């Protein structure tokens, strides 16, 4: 090879090497940028999923459920009618009633298609809807604002509604659960998470939040009309401070009393999550325990020390009376 050919070959190799290096640098830079962008999208979506499961969905359930209970108390209180008194002999399922209030904004029992009850007007207040699909729509809008598309079940589907539950795990809270499927996608659909039948649970405090149904719904046999009395938890030392406990109409947990959900239905059976207060009446022939007095139940009475307040003897442990 002559000298000129060698130089030409050398220059060609150098030029090709420079071009390849430039291409590789550009490719590497672009790939790195794409990877960083994808990582950012994945991290954003991962954070959104965590917030969705741990905060957004439980919060939506809580907001809708709390307003539904409030709307039902308002509706039944206006009519002075416990939920179990609806439609004569038919006993309505409190779970169904609360779920329908949350989902449809209506007062109804079953989940059959075409079933419609009276509208609960305050499920829409000041232009804001508290129905569950509408609260979920707000979460979709939040996702869209961050470049995330949320596709979620329509909770008006009877199958979705039938897997919702309303129950109590303690005296001062109402729990609501649902199973829901959803998926989230990035803008171009290249990254996606899917959840099937994800269980979401929320707890709604009844303290300083709802009116007590027994006081609110006047009983036909009672002389007094119903009153709005917000449920609060006693801070008094019983039985020593029974007078201020009664005078301020405080509630305590008692496993011989009906729970909050029972009280909405006018039930008087003992519950592990029962609550009760005492009516400010001193009588050795009438119980001072709220639902017994208001509903005219004749218990076996004992006096709380020398206070003049009489309670059902089966409730003595709730007031630390022991075997008195």
Whole-number Å distance between alpha carbons of 322 and 301: 14
Residue 291 CA to residue 298 CA, distance in Å, equals 11
pLDDT of residue 75: 93
Q: Work out the burial of residue 319: count CB atoms within 10 Å of its CB; fewer than 13 is exposed, 13-18 middle, 19 or more buried.
A: buried
The length of the chain is 324
Q: How far apart are alpha carbons 168 and 173 in whole angstroms?
A: 6
Does the pLDDT value for residue 186 go beyond 90? no
The b-or-e profile of 63-81 (16+ CB within 10 A means b, else e) is: bbbbbbbbbbbebbbeeee
Q: What is the mean pLDDT of residues 16-36?
A: 55
User: Which residues, in sequence order, are bridge partners of residue 1?
Assistant: none
Ramachandran class of 271: left when φ > 0, alpha when ψ lies in -120 to 50, beta otherwise: beta
| Residue 8 or residue 161, greater confidence | 161
Residue 323 has pLDDT above 70, yes or no: no
Q: What is the pLDDT of residue 11?
A: 57
**Residue 270 pLDDT exceeds 90:** yes
Q: What pLDDT does residue 109 have? A: 86
- The residues spanned by each domain of the chain are 42-205, 207-324
Confidence class of residue 190 from pLDDT cuts 50, 70 and 90?
confident
pLDDT of residue 19: 55
**109 vs 309, residue with greater confidence:** 309
**Distance between CA atoms of 123 and 139, rounded to whole angstroms?**
18
Query: CB–CB of 72/98 below 8 Å?
Result: yes
């Amino acid at each position: 090879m002559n000298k000129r050919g060698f130089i030409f070959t050398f220059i060609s190799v150098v030029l090709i090497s420079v071009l390849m290096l430039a291409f590789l640098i550009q490719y590497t830079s672009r790939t790195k940028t794409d990877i960083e962008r994808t990582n950012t999208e994945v991290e954003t979506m991962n954070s959104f999923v965590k917030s969705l499961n741990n905060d957004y969905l439980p919060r939506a359930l809580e907001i809708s459920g709390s307003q539904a209970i409030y709307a039902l108390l308002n509706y039944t209180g206006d009519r002075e009618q416990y939920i179990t008194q609806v439609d004569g002999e038919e006993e309505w399922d409190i779970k169904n009633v609360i779920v329908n209030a949350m989902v449809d904004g209506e007062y109804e029992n079953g989940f059959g298609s075409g079933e419609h009850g009276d509208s609960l007007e305050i499920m829409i207040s000041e232009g804001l809807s508290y129905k569950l699909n509408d609260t979920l729509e707000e979460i979709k809008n939040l996702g869209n604002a961050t470049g995330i598309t949320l596709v979620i079940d329509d909770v008006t589907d009877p199958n979705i509604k039938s897997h919702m539950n309303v129950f109590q795990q303690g005296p001062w809270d109402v729990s609501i659960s649902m199973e829901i499927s959803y998926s989230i996608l990035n803008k171009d659909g290249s990254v996606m998470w899917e959840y099937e039948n994800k269980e979401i649970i929320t707890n709604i405090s009844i303290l300083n939040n709802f009116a007590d149904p027994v006081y609110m719904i006047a009983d036909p046999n009672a002389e007094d009309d119903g009153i709005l009395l917000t449920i609060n938890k006693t801070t008094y030392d019983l039985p020593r401070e029974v007078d201020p406990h009664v005078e301020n109409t405080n509630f305590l947990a008692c496993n011989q009393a009906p729970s909050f959900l029972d009280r909405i239905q006018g039930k008087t059976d003992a519950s592990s999550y029962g609550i009760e207060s005492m009516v400010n009446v001193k009588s050795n022939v009438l119980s001072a325990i709220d639902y017994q007095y208001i509903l005219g139940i004749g218990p076996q009475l004992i006096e709380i020390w020398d206070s003049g307040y009489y309670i059902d003897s089966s409730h003595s442990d709730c007031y630390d009376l022991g075997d008195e």
